[in-house]
Structure 1
Amino acid sequence: MSQWVSGKITEVNWWTPTLFTIKVAADVAPFQAGQFTKLAMTIGDKRIARAYSYVNAPKDPVLEFYLTEVEGGKLTSGLAELEVGSSIDVESKANGFLTIEEAPQRQALYMISSGTGVGPFLSILADGKVWEKFEKVTLIHSVRYNTDLTYQDFINAYEKLFKQFTYLPLVTREAPLKGLKGRVTELISNNKIAEHLGMSELHKDSHFMICGNPDMVKETSVLLQTLGYNKHRRTEPGHISVEQYW
């Protein structure tokens, strides 16, 4: 049974007309970077809850969530109206296995995301365990437009701090200011991602963590399996971990 705590909004930041971040002060249980919890509000006469990944590192005292306002969304319409000082309920216990603790030991890690699915990977970067476990770390973020590439100051700082880290944005609907144009499955299939990273092919000794749009998650996972990578399970270590909570 879910256990809820009351939280207070401490900051709201709109990146674009539809993408925004909220920061929340709430006394939640300890969690691992990459996990998600649930946010809930009463809208009208109904209590509505949805799952969202933590963007902040577990050690940070203020919780952070990266959201998109969905037209007609039952909860996001309410979330979009939140202001500093507003109340919101947060599920105390986190869930999910898209964590460094659950990932097998491999040479390279590819964190593949679309839209707000980049959130858990930002938490993983900030947490720090990833730098000790993998020799190469690549964050791939797929969006429609260049303006959807958020958290750039954070990401650029980590590129400067850690030589093993590479950031690769993918833009699907216009020419990219940085990175490549096209869908992630297309750019894996035609080897453009590997070539952009200076390789003839993706590392065979790699682990892939995938989060974002359910279609992207499924299609990318299936594609990687055709290339010889296997789904990761606790009882059978593999190469692919995914998160789908909507």
Structure 2
Amino acid sequence: MAQWMTGEVVENYAWNNELFSLRVKVPEPFEFIAGQFVRLGLEEGGQRFQRAYSLVNGPQDPTLDFLVNRVHDGEFSPRLHDLRPGQAIQVSQPPTGFFTLNEVPEGESLWLIATGTGIGPYLSMLTTQIPYERFARIHLIHAVRYANDLAYQPQILDWVAKHPGQLSYQPVVSREDAIGALRGRIPALILEGKLEAALNDTLNNNAQVMLCGNPDMIRDARQVLADKGLPKNLRRKPGNVTVEHYW
């Protein structure tokens, strides 16, 4: 059964007007596996508002990091958006979830494909040595609507520089042209071969793909990948595509 601890907001960093990173200090060590999530909670008027968010920080980092997009008519994200350093927030424990690399079979390449805030668990994974030890090639693909939604780019580019020839980063922007980015939707870019061409790699049965984010993207990408011979990964029947629906 989940329990709650009280943390303290140490930073609320705005990537743009709607997208922000909420960083939280908790009073005791917080163990988790990269890719897992917790619930954040706020009490107001005798009622607890809560929602699940993936941990963006690495397991070795004592400051918890959450990437959040404000939904103006939502009950919870506008409250998080308004939090300031020093304010209290509740964090559920223990962390949970199976969208982790230990659920992913062996392969030559690892394709980490996300839309929006779905990039969060991948960033946590990439702070660890696990992906670099297991896969010869790692591709981080982040699809957003506008270029200013591409969060954590300085950190990502630093990782790319530290792992030349092994880690690559491909942004995808759907609603405007952006330097260095592909334009379009992930499923179409896979279907048309544009994603493979941009990364100079092949989505074949030696590839492991993780999909996280928009359910429409996941549904359509799964179908395109299945048509290419990459089935969904299940514990009872290992495959090539591991998924996490983000809302």
Which one-letter code corresponds to 2:52 in the other structure? A
Partner of 1:2: 2
Whether 1:178 and 2:180 are equivalent positions in the alignment is: yes
Matched ranges for 1:127-206 at <5 A: 127-163=128-164, 164-199=166-201, 201-206=202-207
Conserved? CA contact 2:30–2:62, under 8 Å: no
Conserved? CA contact 1:13–1:20, under 8 Å: yes
Partner of 1:112: 113
SS of the residue corresponding to residue 111 of structure 2 reads strand
SS of the residue corresponding to residue 103 of structure 2 reads coil
Q: CA RMSD in A?
A: 1.3
Partner of 1:208: 209
**d(CA) in 2 for partners of 1:192 and 1:198?**
10
Partner of 2:127: 126
Which one-letter code corresponds to 1:129 in the other structure? I
Moved over 6 A (4+): none
**d(CA) in 1 for partners of 2:243 and 2:111?**
12
Conserved? CA contact 2:18–2:69, under 8 Å: yes
**d(CA) in 2 for partners of 1:144 and 1:6?**
34
Partner of 2:233: 232
CA positional deviation for 1:34: 0.8
Conserved? CA contact 1:43–1:78, under 8 Å: no
Which one-letter code corresponds to 1:25 in the other structure? K
Which one-letter code corresponds to 1:119 in the other structure? G
Conserved? CA contact 2:209–2:241, under 8 Å: yes
The answer for unaligned runs of 5 or more in structure 1 is none
**d(CA) in 1 for partners of 2:214 and 2:46?**
29
Matched ranges for 1:69-84 at <5 A: 69-84=70-85
Whether 1:222 and 2:246 are equivalent positions in the alignment is: no
SS of the residue corresponding to residue 209 of structure 2 reads strand
What do residues 123-168 of structure 1 show as CA deviations (whole Å, max 9, x unaligned)?
A: 0001221100001100000001111111111000011001200100
**d(CA) in 1 for partners of 2:211 and 2:106?**
17
Matched ranges for 1:77-96 at <5 A: 77-96=78-97
Which one-letter code corresponds to 2:68 in the other structure? L
SS of the residue corresponding to residue 53 of structure 2 reads strand
Which one-letter code corresponds to 2:178 in the other structure? P
The answer for unaligned runs of 5 or more in structure 2 is none
Which one-letter code corresponds to 2:198 in the other structure? H
SS of the residue corresponding to residue 59 of structure 1 reads coil
**TM-score, structure 2 length as denominator?**
0.95
CA positional deviation for 1:204: 2.7
SS of the residue corresponding to residue 110 of structure 1 reads strand
Percent sequence identity over aligned pairs: 38
**TM-score, structure 1 length as denominator?**
0.96
Conserved? CA contact 2:23–2:66, under 8 Å: yes
Which one-letter code corresponds to 1:189 in the other structure? L
CA positional deviation for 1:29: 4.2
SS of the residue corresponding to residue 101 of structure 2 reads coil
**d(CA) in 1 for partners of 2:246 and 2:191?**
26
Conserved? CA contact 2:214–2:246, under 8 Å: no
